[in-house]
């Protein structure tokens, strides 16, 4: 199943701010052991963060569903009878 989320252009700047809140203009380069300019824009970072948060949300919902299904199928009758 493929889903697509359409967001009105008017909301994009605000979403970039919301999902880009942890963006930094510089990042640590472990090879050079120094700060370098971030190769990603704030919009690219926000896009990736949005995707990550959506995947996490879906995983939580699926795990909750699986737990509910497993719990509802447990036989609670006394074993010691």
Q: 35: how many CB neighbours lie within 10 A of its CB?
A: 12
The pLDDT > 70 percentage for the chain reads: 91
Q: Is the pLDDT of residue 76 over 70?
A: no
Radius of gyration of the chain (CA): 22
Residue with tokens 């919301």: 18
Whether the CB-CB separation of 55 and 29 falls below 8 Å is answered with no
Residue 32: band (very low, low, confident or very high) from pLDDT cuts 50, 70, 90: confident
Whether the CB-CB separation of 24 and 13 falls below 8 Å is answered with no
Residue 73: band (very low, low, confident or very high) from pLDDT cuts 50, 70, 90: confident
15, HSE (Cβ side, Cα atoms, 13 Å)? 16
Average pLDDT over residues 17-46: 94
Residue with tokens 């994009």: 12
What's the confidence (pLDDT) of residue 80? 63
Q: Is the pLDDT of residue 42 over 70?
A: yes
């Amino acid at each position: 199943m493929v889903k697509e989320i359409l967001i009105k252009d008017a909301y994009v700047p605000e979403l970039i701010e919301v999902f880009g809140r942890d963006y930094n203009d510089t990042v640590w380069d472990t090879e050079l052991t120094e700060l370098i300019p971030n190769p990603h824009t704030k919009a690219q970072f926000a896009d990736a963060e949005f995707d990550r948060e959506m995947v996490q949300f879906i995983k939580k919902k699926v795990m909750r569903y699986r737990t509910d299904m497993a719990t509802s199928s447990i036989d609670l009758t006394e074993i010691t009878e």
